[in-house]
A and B are shown apart, each in its own frame.
Chain A
Amino acid sequence: MFKTGARFLVGAAVLATIAAIVYGVAQSGSLGTTGLVFAACALAGLATVNIWTRDADVSAMDEAARTRSPAATAPPGPSIWPVVAGVGGVLLVVGLVTYPVVFIFGLIALLATTAEWMVQAWSERASADAGFNAGVRTRLAHPLEFPVLAAIGFGIIVYSFSRIMLFLSKTGGVAAFALIALLVLVAGFVIAFRPSLRNGAIAGVAVIAAVGLIAGGAVAALEGERELLPHETTGELAALGECDTTDETEADENASQSVAAKSNLAGSVILRADGTLVADNADVAGSDKVFVVTKSNATNVRFINDSDEERRLVLDLGTTPALEENGEPIEGTAVPFQYCTALVADGGQQFLTFSIPTASVFAEQPYRFVVPGVAGAEVEVAVS
């Protein structure tokens, strides 16, 4: 009556109960005790179920039938799973000392083996009819195998395609995308209008396409991504004497790097070709040298660089005490308090989001927008 599985579970339940008692008495920690008590109950429950279903062991029901049954005496068939288990174990160990990716592959292999080997072993003992056994195995395993394999397959396709797209230039990417889409469309048409295509032909085309995609993806992944966005960290800016904050973040991390949210602007600040900086408050007729902002509001401003060089916009809010590690201000120190955009190409635009808590009338130094490197490019910021 008590087969292997039942013995294991009952033993584990007993162990958990003892551990719960010991832990509860020794440590008197309620969380651990509760956990162990629940574990004991869960294991006891599982043990009960296991005993009721006889550990899925035919022999437990009927010893005589078992000895007479052809299924019990048929030899097990060939299987790749032991090899995969071995490979998985090796990868696991090797991955511990080399790359985490290898460790993960090993883990996946072992998990797959556990499931597949158990199912194969169980289905082979189900009956003496090999055809029936195979049917039982597929009925059990296919609903899990197919989705998982499909997910892995899709993952590989998506990953390869994405590496190719990230590697090519912008226009190259568009061309490649259009070409691949066209090929898929043509293939679809051919299949639709020639229903009597041989399986082999379709399989051949699919294999060629898959090999091409995966190879292309592998090459692109090894080559690396193209240059996407300028990423400057505030540390680099501090070296230039600008935007010195104590957080090592990316310059202008908050706002979008493109001007996507055109409807959210409080106005624009424009660097003209002649080196003057001009404010354009939204919905206020005529341009100004003053940018009007209300205090403590998240304000979005667009910087338009109409000059011939790469420039950034800096919002200069005076100085602020330097901060310690825990955020406490250090008395007597003063560092520049600035918000900056990243370097914007000539003819380009960028968004800047900021909030100023103190009104201009109470500020020690006036607030202003400046463009480093362009003398006289200055716009006053009036905060009320």
Chain B
Amino acid sequence: MTVAGTLAGVLPSGRRQPILRSSRPALALGGVILLVAGCAEDAPQDTWQPAGPNAQKIHNLQWPVFAIAGVVMLIVMAAIGWAIFKYRDRGQPLPKQTHGRPTLEIALTILPALILIGVAVPTVGTLFALAETDDTECYINVTGQQWWWEVDYPAQDGCGGIAEPIVSSGQMVIPIGTKVLVRGTSRDVIHSWWIPALNGKRDMVPGRLQTVRLEADEPGIYAGQCTEFCGLSHANMRMEVVALSPEDFATWKERQLAPYEAPAADTLAAEGEATFLGQCARCHQVNGILDADGVPFISQPELYVYSEAAPNLTHLMSRNTFAGASWDLLIPACRSEVWGAPPEEFGALYLQGITPECLNQVDLREWLRNAPAKKPMYADPTELAATDDKTRGMPYLALSEEQIDQVIAYLMERQ
């Protein structure tokens, strides 16, 4: 019983194979086509649509490398496909038992090495260019916390001059064409700040201060997401960078530093202020709010929240997302108007803030009704032994519908 006969007995005849065999490279090619097709769409966090010089530098490095990789892949697929087709068993005798050709192998080792050297040189150059911090024109501090972002602007000469610190959350507003340096850290676990249209990501590590450059070419809103696993609601930790023209930015700054205006007496908003003071203000700071005795009320989230902070709501309605930027404050129609606005109209639309007819009542009310049910957080008071009875996230407040109406009315005045 010869070996060939054994093989023939065990395996089906080689002659029926060719179509299936040569379809493998075709599958690969189809994959490439799909890949290209997929990249053509318009996702808000698309990494191939740079909107600023830093992301552009990365893109200029990235797509040639992809192209080279694609070409190499096609060559390898073609070689394999050809080998499968030409050298399949058609009954020929045993082939020559070659053990290798050292010159060919050395050449085929040197060639990829040269290609990679060609890739390495611009890589290192781009790396150092992106790490430059000396030409910064404006500094913004960012602090990640489970599961939202705090953005604060220290007093400085940059960004057209900021007289007093501005504290915000979820949306970072910057002037266009300005080299902004984000200096970031975290209050609890490692998070990561990523606005794909403007630059690569940078981890926000507690105890460390990391920097990443941002610069936007045109007005618009650029979406991002936390990209380092940070626990339960990692998927619900988003942020946006809003770029405004220098004039619009100056207007925004003015409004952020405007003094507090209490609601007019006997309005729903005034009742809302009282409810806010009773239910919300112990964690959420509103700058300038006065308590019942007329003393400025200072929130103390460090007593209730493990990571010791909660979003500052002084100008909540000047932003258009909330709860870690996971939900919109705008109804879909208004949202697509603002987010999809062309650059020259964007600033004015953004500065409109949230008008009553555009307010997304559904999500906001759900949130106020029962925050932990809407966004997974650690707020069950019976399970907080590991964090000294402090919550990680917003607890359930058992607000009545009436109280929710009041609070929304009050918040609508925080423009």
Contacts and interface: CB of A to CB of B under 8 A. Distances in A.
- A and B touch in their complex, CB below 8 angstroms: yes
A294 B141 contact: yes
B155 to A, nearest CB: 7
Contacts of A263: 208
B208 A283 contact: no
Contacts of A362: 296, 298
Nearest to B142: A294
A292 B185 CA distance: 13
Contact of A382 (B155, B181, B185, B302): B155
B155 A297 contact: no
A82 B150 CA distance: 74
Contact of B139 (A284, A300, A353): A284
A295 interface: yes
Given A283-B183, A357-B302, A382-B155, A294 B207 contact: no
A297 B187 CA distance: 5
B185 A384 contact: no
B151 to A, nearest CB: 10
A264 to B, nearest CB: 5
Contacts of B307: 296
A384 B208 contact: no
Contact of A283 (B155, B181, B300): B181
Contact of B143 (A292, A297, A357): A297
B181 A359 contact: no
5 contacts: A266-B185, A294-B150, A294-B185, A297-B187, A355-B308
B309 interface: yes
Q: Chain A contact residues (Cβ within 8 angstroms of B): what range?
A: 20 to 34
A358 B308 CA distance: 10
Given A285-B136, A362-B298, A300 B207 contact: yes
A265 B206 contact: no
Q: A282, A290, A294: which has the most chain B beta carbons within 10 Å?
A: A294
A361 interface: yes
Q: B136, B141, B165, B300: which has the most chain A beta carbons within 10 Å?
A: B165
B209 A265 contact: yes
Interface of B: 133-134, 136, 139, 141, 143, 150, 152-155, 164-165, 167, 181, 183, 185-187, 206-209, 211, 287, 296, 298, 300-302, 307-309
A298 interface: yes
B209 A266 contact: yes
Contacts of A359: 165, 167
Given A294-B185, A296-B308, 18 more contacts: A265-B209, A283-B209, A284-B136, A292-B154, A294-B141, A294-B143, A294-B152, A296-B307, A298-B206, A300-B208, A355-B308, A357-B308, A382-B154, A382-B155, A382-B165, A384-B141, A384-B152, A384-B167
Nearest to A360: B165
B32 to A, nearest CB: 41
Interface in A262-291: 263-267, 282-285, 290
Nearest to A357: B302
B309 A358 contact: no
Q: A264, A295, A353: which has the most chain B beta carbons within 10 Å?
A: A295
Q: A264, A290, A360: which has the most chain B beta carbons within 10 Å?
A: A264
A297 B185 contact: yes
Interface in A296-345: 296-300
Contacts of A267: 209
A294 B210 CA distance: 13
Contacts of A292: 141, 154
Q: What 4 A-B pairs have minimum CB-CB distances, sorted nearest first?
A: A296-B308, A357-B302, A384-B165, A384-B152
Interface of A: 263-267, 282-285, 290, 292, 294-300, 353, 355, 357-362, 382, 384
Contacts of B211: 283
Contacts of B207: 264, 298-300, 353
B165 A283 contact: no
Contacts of A264: 207-208
Contacts of B141: 292, 294, 384
A382 B296 CA distance: 20
Contacts of A357: 300, 302, 308
Nearest to A263: B208
A382 B164 CA distance: 10
Contacts of B186: 297
A282 B185 CA distance: 12
A360 B152 CA distance: 13
Contacts of B209: 265-267, 282-283
A283 B298 CA distance: 31
A359 B278 CA distance: 21
A382 B152 CA distance: 12
A296 B187 contact: yes
B306 to A, nearest CB: 10
A282 B139 CA distance: 11
A298 B167 CA distance: 19
A297 B139 contact: no
A165 to B, nearest CB: 32
A284 B138 CA distance: 10
Nearest to B136: A285
Contacts of B133: 283, 285
A133 B153 CA distance: 85
A309 to B, nearest CB: 30
Nearest to B155: A382
Contact of A296 (B153, B155, B309): B309
A290 B187 CA distance: 22
Nearest to B164: A361
B308 A384 contact: no
A367 to B, nearest CB: 13
B136 to A, nearest CB: 7
Nearest to A284: B139
A254 to B, nearest CB: 11
A337 to B, nearest CB: 14
A358 B134 CA distance: 31
A300 B369 CA distance: 40
